[in-house]
């Protein structure tokens, strides 16, 4: 990882909660996880609600979607 492209320096990073080392990645819409049980259960006629979340990230990590924060 490029040391100049940390999550904390990214346009999509949002500080969340009391832990200053953790934030949320707002690059994409929030999601319910890798598997979406809602669609599987709705196919069986079961109506449920699920929670969605923004992915949690450490301030010192990074990814290929990095965009520098606007000045």
Strands, E, within the chain: which ranges? 13-15, 22-25, 56-58
- The angle formed by the CA atoms of residues 71, 24 and 60, to the nearest 5 degrees, is 70
Residue ranges of the alpha helices (H) in 12-51? 37-43
Q: Low-confidence residues of the chain, pLDDT below 50? A: none
- pLDDT per residue as tens digits for the range 17-30: 899 999 999 999 98
Question: CB 7: neighbour CB atoms within 10 A?
Answer: 20
Q: What is the pLDDT of residue 62?
A: 92
CB 50 within 8 A of CB 32: yes
């Amino acid at each position: 990882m490029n040391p100049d492209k940390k999550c904390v320096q990214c346009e999509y990073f949002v500080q969340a909660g009391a832990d200053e080392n953790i934030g949320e990645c707002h690059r994409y819409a929030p999601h319910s996880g890798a598997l979406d049980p809602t669609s599987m259960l709705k196919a069986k006629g079961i109506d449920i609600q699920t929670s969605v979340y923004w992915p949690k990230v450490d301030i010192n990590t990074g990814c290929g979607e990095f965009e520098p924060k606007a000045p």
